[in-house]
Amino acid sequence: MKNSVILKVSLSLAIAQLLILSVAILYVHKSYLEGMKRFSQDMRVNIMREAKESKDYNLAREERFINRLITSIEGSLGQSLFALDRDGAVATLKKFMEVNENIKSINIYDLTDGTLFISALRDEKGILFSPVQSSPKGFLSTKRNLTYNGELLGYMEVYYDIGSVVSRLEKKKIEDINNFTAGLLKLEEDRHRGMLVGIGILLFGVLLTTALSVFLIFKLVHEPLQELKKGLDSFFKHLANPEEKISEIVIDSRDEFGQMASSINRNVKVSTRLHNDIRKREEQTRKLNEELISKNREIVKINEELEDRIRERTRELEEINQRLQELANKDSLTGLYNRRFFFEAVDNNIIPTAIRDGEPISAFIIDIDRFKSINDIYGHQVGDIVIRKLADIILSNIRRSDIAARLGGEEFAVVLAGTNINSALDVATRIKQEAESSVVGDGIRFTVSIGVSDYDRIEEGITETLHRADMALYRAKRNGRNRIEVNSSEDTLNDFLRQ
């Protein structure tokens, strides 16, 4: 028990008790001083209240005296105002203000028009009279009516000062208050000085015992704790880096710190062995994981190569299918759609969309005039050039929503979505004019004939519409070629009705 740290630290607790006692003494002394201070302040307040009451009484008495003085000159000033005698008013005011120094300013007003009759003002140079109103700030004021023989003539405004009127009795009371307060303060200072001397001696003893307790705590507690910290730090460094050596904790005492050091040293040795075993297992596991990761990377690489090959083959197949689809749907010479795809697209897409949206459809058939003569004279190669030229002219004059096809030989068909027969006639006119003005090869020119018709919603397909356009085309041929003929659904309906 005699080696216990608790016993060694008890001295520190005793010192703490001394400190608490010192704080208690200071608190009691402070409370005493505050009580005396409040007592002194209360006494001062009571005395000041009595002085104020006496002052207020004297001020009121002085104000009543001033009012009586003002009343004494009302008759004289009323008479001067009645006679409009400024000189008489000046003499009365000057004599009155010379005798009564508390009067600062007097203004006399005429009631008939409210104007200023005369004004008197006291300043450093003396008493000044002026026709201008004077209203000095910081002074008391009063208003009095001016009458003569019972008639109200005007009023006067008087500014006066009674704030400086303080009797000797009041000054004596204030002096007594100050002397009484000074005596109380002197008494408190003497008492305070004595208390400070005693507290200073007590604090010196407390500081001395505190220094001793700090030294004992440092030797008995701080140094062993530092040694324990040093040993544990070296242990944790060894866990992070096995090459770091572990410092053994050395504490010679047999108290709690010594027993703790022995226990920690034993546990550190056991923990170190376990930690080394764990590190070996972790190293083996790490190598196995690295091998697995390497194999996985190889597998992933192989899979990526296979996926790349599959994507490349798929893309090639898609391109081939797209080319095949184009070859199956388009004419190889002109790049326009062929007859089969043309009728499928019109029946499956253009006509249902127009019926759903309530829009018109128009169509026309184009045929190159005297195309056989061109082949016979210039050869089939030039004929192919003429066909391609006409296909380019058609594509340049229609929209993406429209569809054009080569039906066979020198015959072409065009279907215009959302277009009435008048707009379709404009498109056919541009195509005819461009064909007529174009030149192929060595100055070879050609013309076209066009038959135009519109889609009749009563009809079931585009075949009837193209049939009417074909009839219009034959009519254009019979009428001299290089022209456009129209065969609308209304014309067909009118022919049917006439029959």
The residues annotated with a catalytic role in the active site are 410
Query: What is the token pair recorded at 446?
Result: 């050609």
Which is it for strands 448-454 and 140-148: parallel, antiparallel or unpaired? unpaired
**DSSP for 315-375, written as a single string:** HHHHHHHHHHHHHHHB-TTT-SB-HHHHHHHIIIIIHHHHHHHT--EEEEEEEETTHHHHH
Outline where 83-222 has alpha helix (H).
86-99, 168-217
As a whole number of angstroms, the distance between CA 103 and CA 140 comes to: 10
Query: What is the token pair recorded at 192?
Result: 């305070």
Listed as own residue / partner, the contacts of 247-254 with beta carbons closer than 8 Å and 24 or more positions apart are 251/224, 251/227, 253/3, 253/224, 254/3
As a whole number of angstroms, the distance between CA 438 and CA 431 comes to: 11
Question: In 10 A of CB 225, how many CB atoms?
Answer: 12
Angle between helices 5-72 and 74-82 (to 10 degrees): 50
Residues 6+ apart with CB under 8 A from 242: 276, 279
> Nearest Cα to 431, choosing from 346, 367, 498, 497?
367
As a whole number of angstroms, the distance between CA 75 and CA 149 comes to: 9
Residues 6+ apart with CB under 8 A from 280: none
Let me know: does 260 contact 228? Beta carbons within 8 Å.
yes
Distance, C-alpha 35 to centroid of its chain = 56
Let me know: does 329 contact 341? Beta carbons within 8 Å.
yes
Residue type, 489: S
Q: How is residue 222 annotated by DSSP?
A: I
Let me know: does 430 contact 419? Beta carbons within 8 Å.
no
Residue 420's SS3 state is coil
> What is the length of the chain?
499
Our CA dihedral for 287, 288, 291, 292, rounded to 10 degrees, sits at -140
Let me know: does 451 contact 365? Beta carbons within 8 Å.
yes
